[in-house]
Structure 1
């Protein structure tokens, strides 16, 4: 896309009793409207990068498609912000129960007002998890994510999500919306036929119920975060067989669910 991820902005900063004019860097946001089989389906407000991955991941997360093969054609028109999608098939219940939605970049009730209905039909317990990691690997993966988060370092205005194996990053995606960052990861995996049962999600924000559900839909059994989980997220993690690790910082962490997948080096 030609749209920039960040822009310079004049600001007046107050420090130590003085105000001075400086140039700061801020993130941008961009609305993308999904036209699904000739009907307007949803508008996503996102960071202007990896839009096709976002659309694919969003449709899969919402249960509209089951795999990338379900998409017959996807065309993104940057000038109008429209993603034109034609599918070979569509899950019938989505036609009956979805209506046009405007999905903001915030992480509150704007999305939660409808996603539980869909999740009850699309999310299943994560199975066949083929990975365990050490405590030290948890710290190493978090460090790798933070080192790769250039836009966050410049602006402080985006969420970061990475898909990893036990030792390295496979794909890194950022967005102003935490749900968008995860949908981009999901879309990348579907496009590139990436196996997820042996992968880990490392995330910059708190583990909310929505984040946990998306991790389960992606098919990853371990999620690491430098922030806190919510009570509902932990209940869902127990039900969906997901290991959750939070407050991963300063050489300490909390393991909240399925601790058997995290081991102390030399004591697996």
Structure 2
């Protein structure tokens, strides 16, 4: 299977906008598009997410999976996307527990996420992630590949990227205005393609927050890496479930705050080249 990579030339995802720079000179830059996607589970409206608009089917399915709204026994029979209405409908064989819960609630914008946060946390109870070792040499290879893959992040900033990796290979690289959306797209892609998680690594440009850690753990992925930093609660949850959590991955440096038992230190860091200064500036600017 060929890797699924960003398409920064897709005209739907960004557009040129003209303004002035610090010297008062006219300047045109590429700016990321942002549009709503309303996600339905069968006939029940769940949430409206702001997204760049690519891979809506993966995003809708992955969101429902990562929020615990679709359980193991729920059989997905189809996903319909209406571009004009900006609606994605995930259909299952029968009614789900979530639909029954939400029918009894008066919801405000975004609170669908809150109704299932407890369910997400409950899903971590008794969770055992596989003890698949990860070689530190692969981190540097993956970081170099991701930093040099044509992407909207490199073209426009104001966007997050998430890559699903196996060894030194990138399997799928998704981007979106929200780091959670990018992870959800990965989850939807994995589910529809029957991709297993035990030997995978998730690489993100976004902060390692509690929800990022929870989603990665519930997906069954044992290692999460980011260019950015941590939140304390994210670290606490990672330690609770035994997730290998690596942040501040830039150039030769990284910091592991959880799950160091999986690390195989096989890389002589003196042989790792420094990160390109242009990448460092862009990363600092847009994290």
* TM superposition score normalised by structure 1: 0.87
Does residue 162 (structure 1) correspond to residue 163 (structure 2)? The answer is yes
Structure 2: gaps (5+ residues): 1-9, 269-287
Does the aligned pair in 1 maintain the 2:201–2:223 contact within 8 Å?
A: yes
Does residue 7 (structure 1) correspond to residue 15 (structure 2)? The answer is yes
Does the aligned pair in 1 maintain the 2:208–2:228 contact within 8 Å?
A: yes
The 1:192/1:203 distance shift into structure 2, 3 A limit, reads same
Q: Decide which structure has greater strand share.
A: 1
Alpha-carbon shift at residue 170 of structure 1 (Å): 0.7
Does the aligned pair in 2 maintain the 1:41–1:100 contact within 8 Å?
A: no
Does residue 186 (structure 1) correspond to residue 190 (structure 2)? The answer is no
* Paired residues for 1:1-268 under 5 Å: 4-14=12-22, 18-67=23-72, 70-92=75-97, 95-96=100-101, 100=107, 102-103=109-110, 113-114=114-115, 116-124=117-125, 126-129=127-130, 131-265=132-266
Does the aligned pair in 1 maintain the 2:44–2:99 contact within 8 Å?
A: no
The 1:126/1:164 distance shift into structure 2, 3 A limit, reads farther
Does the aligned pair in 1 maintain the 2:136–2:267 contact within 8 Å?
A: no
Alpha-carbon shift at residue 141 of structure 1 (Å): 1.2
Partners of 1:7 and 1:245 lie apart in 2 by 34
The 1:93/1:38 distance shift into structure 2, 3 A limit, reads closer
Does the aligned pair in 2 maintain the 1:226–1:248 contact within 8 Å?
A: yes
The 1:47/1:91 distance shift into structure 2, 3 A limit, reads same
The 1:77/1:260 distance shift into structure 2, 3 A limit, reads same
Report the secondary structure of 1:89's partner residue: coil
Alpha-carbon shift at residue 169 of structure 1 (Å): 0.3
Partners of 1:112 and 1:230 lie apart in 2 by 20
Does the aligned pair in 1 maintain the 2:129–2:243 contact within 8 Å?
A: no
Q: Which region of structure 1 is more displaced relative to structure 2, 196-205 or 133-142?
A: 133-142
Alpha-carbon shift at residue 84 of structure 1 (Å): 2.2
Does the aligned pair in 2 maintain the 1:124–1:217 contact within 8 Å?
A: no
Partners of 1:99 and 1:42 lie apart in 2 by 13
